[in-house]
Amino acid sequence: MVTENQKFEVKGTFLMGKEWAHYSKVIEAPNAKQAEERTFAVIGSKHNLKRRYIKVDGVTPVKGE
């Protein structure tokens, strides 16, 4: 069974230096939990951060397209 990916907007904060910076990303994933996991992977690898320094405030499906 192949599940089709949806687009989710993930919002939150991450530690940049000594301050928390806001982010908003559109991630393609089969469900909201996977979108959250992919956000941890993308931000963590880009900014060399562990999960405890990345906070997710909300995951919402993107309408349209």
- pLDDT tens string 31-60: 999 999 999 999 999 999 999 999 999 999
CATH code at 51?
Answer: 3.10.20.10
| Whole-prediction pTM | 0.86
What amino acid occupies position 50?
K
What is the distance between the alpha carbons of residues 2 and 39, in angstroms, rounded to a whole number? Answer: 22
Asked if residue 1 is part of any domain, the answer here is: no
Asked if residue 38 is part of any domain, the answer here is: yes
Range of the domain at 45: 6-61
